Amino acid sequence: MALVTTTEMFKKAFDGKYAIGAFNINDMEIIQGVTRAAKVQNSACILQVSKSALKYANPLYLKAMVDAAVAETGIDVALHLDHGPDFETVKEVIDAGFTSVMFDGSHYEYEENVAKTIEVVKYAHERGIVVEAELGKLAGVEDDVKVDSANATYTDPDQAVDFVKRTGVDSLAIAIGTSHGAYKFKGEPKLDFDRLETITNKLEAAGFSKYPIVLHGASSVDPASVEMCNKYGGEIKGARGIPNEMLRKAAGMAVCKINMDTDIRLAMTAGIRKSMAEKPEAFDPRGYLGLARELIQSLVESKIKDVLGSVDSMK
């Protein structure tokens, strides 16, 4: 079994009205927790790596561990660059064996985003690698770039069509009200589903049938994980994510990839905190990292089953 691109995954997800989970990875425990969960649910999955994860773990280690996870589980896995900031990083991971890349030029002026994305698409497509790009600005923090909610802008549907046409990107991340991190809403959670539908319809009318849309900042900020963190010494206050019903609704529309990092972080931290609090005399990392890995696995199993709907997508 080798790594795959997202092309087939997204076709099946669009037709089947479900989404593939894209989970951020930084170390072995996360890779094992996610892929073992996907195996249990017979689901494909995307493992994604941010620029800071590349710096933390080294792409060579991540690629080797992901290859090992594919050999262990036999499931379809795409290894994806998350929020690639520049051409050099894209090139580095493609050369290291990643099968999918995101180039995030959303903070550039439109024409500059188009030009830079075209350069990435050319390099990737010549090597059989797929490209995700982003249009519109999400609020929140990612890789040291902070966008406050006043500067977040939703994706313009006509611009989305123009962007896809001119760049040839394989999937598009859009801004409809999600945001990165654990504090997504102060008031009532709200996503602009009408905008999502308009974008899909306009793409369809322009000849981009069943075009895969990506939702970033889509952690539900699992209340059980937050509660466990706080019970064992954490101070995570006022955290709020995207309600599961909204994620299910998006997955039933054109959203084929749903990104989650915060939920993994919370589950991992909850496991470590609980283990350390309950066994203060213990100092074997396999104890606390083992519980963290178990909690990641059970979180991802329930995401696949109850939220994404990708159970048995390996059939």
- Residues binding ligand G3H (CB under 6 A): 24, 50, 52-53, 82-83, 142-143, 180, 261
Minimum distance of ligand G3H from residue 261's CB (angstroms): 3
Minimum distance of ligand 13P from residue 207's CB (angstroms): 28
Which CB sits closer to ligand 13P, 105 or 217?
217
Which listed residue (94, 226, 260, 291) binds ligand 13P by CB under 6 A?
260
Task: Count how many Cα atoms sit within 13 Å of the Cα of residue 108 in the half-sphere of its side chain.
Answer: 15
Alpha-carbon distance values, 94 to 52, 68, 69, 90, 211 (Å): 17, 18, 19, 6, 23
217 counts as binding ligand 13P under rule CB under 6 A: yes
Strand partners, 23: 47, 260
How far, in Å, CA of 243 to CA of 245, rounded? 6
Which listed residue (89, 171, 259, 269) binds ligand 13P by CB under 6 A?
259
CB 257 within 8 A of CB 20: yes
Length of the chain equals 315
Q: Which does 53 bind (CB under 5 to 8 A by kind): ligand G3H, ligand 13P, Zn ion, none?
A: ligand G3H
Residue-wise over 219-246: b if at least 16 C-beta within 10 A, else e?
Answer: bbbbeebbebbeebebebeebbbbbeeb
Which residues, numbered 207-246, are part of the site for Zn ion (CB under 5 A)?
A: 216
Which CB sits closer to ligand 13P, 195 or 216?
216
Active-site residue (options: 15, 27, 67, 82): 82
Q: Got the DSSP string for 8-29? A: HHHHHHHHHT--EEEEE--SHH
Which residues, numbered 45-104, are part of the site for ligand 13P (CB under 6 A)?
A: 82-83
Task: With H, G, I as helix, E, B as strand and everything else as coil, classify residue 254.
Answer: coil
Minimum distance of ligand G3H from residue 297's CB (angstroms): 20
Which CB sits closer to ligand G3H, 142 or 301?
142
C-alpha dihedral, 282 to 287 to 288 to 293, nearest 10°:
180
Which listed residue (174, 261, 299, 303) binds ligand 13P by CB under 6 A?
261
222 counts as binding ligand 13P under rule CB under 6 A: no
Which CB sits closer to ligand 13P, 157 or 241?
241
Which listed residue (49, 53, 218, 291) binds ligand 13P by CB under 6 A?
218
Determine phi and psi for 239, rounding to 5 degrees: -70, 140
State the burial class of residue 57 (Cβ atoms within 10 Å of its Cβ: 0-12, 13-18, 19+).
middle
**CA angle in degrees (0–180, nearest 5) for 254-161-98:** 65
Which CB sits closer to Zn ion, 24 or 200?
24
How far, in Å, CA of 209 to CA of 201, rounded? 9
Which CB sits closer to ligand 13P, 100 or 259?
259
Minimum distance of ligand G3H from residue 126's CB (angstroms): 27
CB 9 within 8 A of CB 19: no
Minimum distance of ligand G3H from residue 167's CB (angstroms): 21
Q: Is 82 a catalytic residue?
A: yes
Minimum distance of ligand G3H from residue 138's CB (angstroms): 8
Which residues, numbered 160-189, are part of the site for ligand 13P (CB under 6 A)?
A: 180-181
Catalytic amino acids? 82
Binding site for ligand 13P (CB under 6 A): 24, 82-83, 180-181, 216-219, 259-263
Binding site for Zn ion (CB under 5 A): 216
